[in-house]
Amino acid sequence: MAALAAFGAQLLDSLRGMETLWAFGASARWRMRLAEQAARLRAESMHTLRATLLRTGLTRFVGLAGMASVLGWGSWQLGQGRLDAASLLAVLLLSREAFRPLERLEKAFHAAWAARDGLHAIDALLHAPLPVPEPQRPGPAPADGRISLSGVCFAHDQGQEPGRPEVLHGLDLDIADGEWVALVGPSGVGKSTLLSLLWRAADPRRGMVCLGGRDLRELSLAQLRSRVALVAQDTLLFSGSLEDNLRMASPQACLRDIEAVLRDVQLADLVDSLPRGLQTEVGEFGAHLSGGQRQRLALARALLRRASVLLLNEPTSSADPRTEQALLQVLRPLRGRRTLVMAAHRLETAREADRIVVLENGRVAEQGTHDDLLRRGGRYARLWAASQAKRTTEEAA
Q: Which CATH superfamily is domain 147-396 in?
A: P-loop containing nucleotide triphosphate hydrolases (3.40.50.300)
CB-based contact 198:147 (threshold 8 Å): yes
| The pLDDT of residue 121 is above 70 | yes
CA pair distance 153, 149, nearest whole angstrom: 10
Check residue 163 and give its pLDDT.
Answer: 59
Mean pLDDT, residues 335-348: 89
Q: What is the pLDDT of residues 265-306, one digit of tens each?
A: 878 888 888 888 888 888 777 777 777 778 888 888 888 888
Beta strands 206-211 and 180-184: pairing type? unpaired
23: confidence class by pLDDT, cuts 50, 70, 90? low
pLDDT in tens, 24-39: 677 788 888 888 888 8
- Tens digits of per-residue pLDDT, 44-55? 888 877 877 777
Confidence of residue 320 (pLDDT cuts 50, 70, 90): low
Residue 170: left (phi > 0), alpha (psi -120 to 50), or beta? left
Nearest Cα to 143, choosing from 336, 308, 342? 308
Residue 397: the pLDDT is 60
200 phi-psi bin (left φ>0, alpha ψ -120 to 50, beta other)? left
DSSP 202-270: S--SEEEEEETTEEGGGS-HHHHHHHEEEE-SS----SSBHHHHHHTT-TT--HHHHHHHHHHTT-HHH
Cβ contacts of 171 within 8 Å, gap of 6 or more? 149, 151, 152, 153, 190, 194, 207, 359, 362, 363, 364
pTM beyond 0.75: the answer is: no
Please, what is the average pLDDT of the chain? 82
Q: Which long-range contacts (CB under 8 A, 24 or more apart) does 100-107 make?
A: 102/59, 102/62, 102/63, 103/59, 103/63, 106/55, 106/56, 106/59
- Per the model's pLDDT, the better-predicted residue between 370 and 251 turns out to be 370
* Residue type at 233 in one-letter notation: Q
Q: Are 369 and 350 in contact (CB under 8 A)?
A: no
Residues across the chain: 397
Each domain of the chain, given as residue ranges in start order, spans 2-126, 147-396
